[in-house]
Chains A and B, each alone.
Chain A
């Protein structure tokens, strides 16, 4: 299925989810290659993953230094031409710093690192990243972050909501999302959003860590299955 997809996983100094991303893609038959952050072009690629980690030690601010790596100019260019960009955890933080996604990720509300499973509701399944899920489907994925408290101003929030760009929300196991259910304090319980053109997804939870039953579940596979289906449907390059 995924054999035809060409994926690249960007490696920044202190990326630590790079191998996990490549391995998860591999379990779905998607071959991926690593791209070092000092490289300035990524050729022949359908998907670019910015993996989890602590790029540049999270110094200054999460993602703030990585955004100046030579590879990021190419990521911005690829995003502009419709290549799918998936930013997981630190990757999400880098995408906001690079201006590919709006808003910012602040310290968790209780100032503690959070490493646990969370429940998420798929708010929009009409994206290249979520078409394999049902709308409203509740999934379980791990989080592992100290800075996942998504913030955006009210105007920006309304816009995200209005344009259906809030893709994943934290929720309770039954799918209810009472205000404030996000463990990290994220505004509107936002866990993942897409960019204006829908081809850039940033999310704090780790789908790559939930792709096999032995890891505790397969709820993360949907993200990658969606990308494969999206590619097969020929919708790439909007």
Chain B
């Protein structure tokens, strides 16, 4: 009996949970049944530790067609042609730590399936990646480099092959991710509003089919693996990592969209974490029905698999479909055309039970609702960690005195541009196909990617963002800033921010200080989403991101979708023409806390996170979108990590134009150049459009500071120059080509 066996532990359950299961079932569950509970009640599938906090998020709005709970969220992009975007982001952190290429590849594959399970054709992917520093001593540096190289190759290997452009993302290097990298993949698809599919097993007597790849032993218990901390013994976990086959997925994608288009399918669900168990139980649970699966009818890749292994296998590139009996032949015919297996493995029932059979034998029978809806909802104890107050105060003298002590500010700008976090991510995104599909109208490297949309003039802007240093130092404000920055990036590209998905990457929630970070960060996100009217339509929680007991920085990655009335109105961050006015929109405060520059000089993350005024931030978004629509801006660039000097240098480098800048404001040179005050953007404007732009800024109540002009080759300098004066005093002066070389080549240099 249970007292001696501790059977629950083997399935990752607590004694308390085991007791609850026995009470619900009214009997002793058998081994297979307990396996089902084990994965379905894991953090990864049940969100038991996060659910209570996620309820804080605003999830509705006129633009929302599908909120959280389905395979992906859906927002409306165009009212008149009923065009919608289905989008979602997911993590694949632990598999990528063990096997970077396959971990990242299957992360991309999984999120793509979530999108076409909604009936949407995937049109774009983005990725948010975090690793340890590229240089921190020999042995560790090699591991980071191989993780980084492997993950980037894996993301590209899968997305390129299947032909979905990877259009944007972010890559961050920080010591907190040394042992536990983050790999978050977002996918976006397009679907007509009246053709959205749901993962529901409706219609008693309908046939349950599994289509695509055969089932093997790969990735068994991956969901449970995702719900544990990492440690040095992890190479043993390699069998927990799935292996991806993008070719198979491409066929599965085309075949699935074909059967949906032909109206042959009632419900569709991807087989992701916890494989047949979660897909079957969730489809039944959503429809309030039951279903049975006969293990003898599942196409297998290998023989001799135990029932629990079959039910928990995470073999990739499989989907579950519910089909009316007369249509199964037509479904099989489509899959045969694509040389794919399609097998009838069970039936929808009215008894509410999720039943596993082997021929005539019933091996397990559990009410689907127990698996999907009855997992405990925990509000964990939480407590403000000691570091929080301690790190609010900091000594910024190294940064403040840099200009005086180190022979001018030019050196610091160069140092920042050549640091992997600020440097161009060209080395990453040039390994991705960003133009397949011929919809990409702003490619990677600008603030947000923009896609044109078929059948309308509209465009869609996409961005993923998080500054986890801010979140660590002030989770509530940092969570809000993550949303603000994602919205700002979308707005800088000319779009109105619509809605978000997210990937909440945190440490072990059983630690009160980690749970405090989670509660605070989600509070901040909820407030920001409310303030910007960008509801949350779905997402993913990834806890237990720890290595040898140390948690990563709290990293709630935000994936934002925005819409432009006309894709031709898109704006990029590159300066466009000689003689354009360069203007700072927003206001710089004396804020050096939590800055990239301070970290670069001292190796310390500390100080007060920049303040965020929701109201002003929102006005900035409205201004940027309206200015784009009126074609006033030659360029627009969000001012973020590295501060104003970095934003200016990036716009200059990208546009291959020099700049002569001279302004005064009331803050110290360090804060003016490298502080990270929020709600700011650098825009360039053709002189003949300045009056109109100024009027628009006034209308939106936004302060602005003209900084100077863009310029071409300087006659007495012989080449293009980037120079910054504050109140007439020359602080930064450098040949543009030199800045460009540093910024463009830093990552390759660091990989040598």
A: residues with CB less than 8 A from B are 13-14, 16-17, 19-20, 23-24, 36, 52-54, 56-59, 112-116, 142, 144, 146, 206, 208-209, 214-216
Contacts and interface: CB of A to CB of B under 8 A. Distances in A.
A68 to B, nearest CB: 14
Interface in B435-454: 435-438, 440-441, 443, 452
Q: How large is the interface on B (under 10, 10 to 19, 20 to 34, 35 or more residues)?
A: 20 to 34
A206 B567 CA distance: 22
Given A214-B441, A215-B438, A58 B430 contact: no
A142 B434 CA distance: 10
Given A57-B161, A116-B430, A16 B156 contact: no
B568 interface: yes
Interface of B: 153, 156-157, 160-163, 245-248, 250-251, 337-339, 429-438, 440-441, 443, 452, 567-568
15 contacts: A13-B338, A14-B163, A14-B246, A14-B247, A16-B162, A20-B437, A23-B438, A36-B337, A54-B246, A57-B250, A58-B161, A58-B247, A115-B429, A115-B432, A144-B433
A115 B247 contact: no
A214 B567 contact: yes
Contacts of B434: 115, 144
Nearest to A56: B247
Given A113-B156, A144-B160, A206-B435, 13 more contacts: A13-B250, A16-B163, A16-B250, A20-B438, A24-B438, A54-B161, A112-B431, A113-B157, A115-B160, A115-B430, A144-B433, A214-B568, A216-B441
Given A13-B339, A53-B163, A142 B247 contact: no
A219 to B, nearest CB: 13
A57 B452 contact: no
Contact of A113 (B160, B245, B338): B160
Contacts of A52: 436
Contacts of B339: 13
A42 B437 CA distance: 25
Given A113-B431, A114-B430, A14 B437 contact: no
Contacts of A206: 435
A96 to B, nearest CB: 20
Contacts of A19: 437
Contacts of B440: 215
Given A14-B161, A113-B160, A144 B435 contact: yes
Contacts of B156: 113, 115
A58 B250 CA distance: 13
A57 B430 contact: no
Contact of A14 (B250, B429, B443, B568): B250
A199 B46 CA distance: 60
Given A13-B339, A57-B246, A214-B567, A208 B438 contact: yes
A208 B437 CA distance: 10
Specify the main secondary structure of chain A where it touches its partner.
mixed
A14 B159 CA distance: 12
A114 B163 CA distance: 14
A58 B435 CA distance: 20
Nearest to A58: B161
Contacts of B436: 16-17, 20, 52, 144, 209
A16 B431 CA distance: 17
Contacts of A146: 160
A214 B440 CA distance: 9
Nearest to A15: B163
Given A13-B339, A16-B163, A214-B452, A54 B247 contact: yes
A84 to B, nearest CB: 22
A209 B435 contact: yes
A225 to B, nearest CB: 17
Contacts of A54: 160-161, 163, 246-247, 250
A112 B441 CA distance: 24
A46 to B, nearest CB: 23
Contacts of A144: 160, 433-436
A2 B440 CA distance: 25
A60 to B, nearest CB: 12
Nearest to B431: A113
A120 B157 CA distance: 26
B432 to A, nearest CB: 5
Nearest to B160: A113
Nearest to B162: A16
B432 A113 contact: yes
Nearest to A36: B337
Contacts of A58: 161, 247
Contacts of A214: 441, 452, 567-568
A14 B435 CA distance: 17
B159 to A, nearest CB: 10
Q: Which 8 A-B pairs have the closest CB atoms?
A: A16-B163, A57-B247, A144-B433, A54-B161, A14-B250, A20-B438, A115-B433, A113-B431
Nearest to B441: A214
Contacts of A116: 430
A43 B431 CA distance: 39
Nearest to B437: A20
Contacts of B161: 14, 16, 54, 57-58
Nearest to A206: B435
A112 B432 CA distance: 10
B251 A115 contact: no
Nearest to A183: B430
A114 B160 CA distance: 10
Nearest to B339: A13
Nearest to A38: B337
A23 B437 CA distance: 10
Contacts of B568: 214
Contacts of A36: 337
B565 to A, nearest CB: 15
A189 B160 CA distance: 24
A223 to B, nearest CB: 15
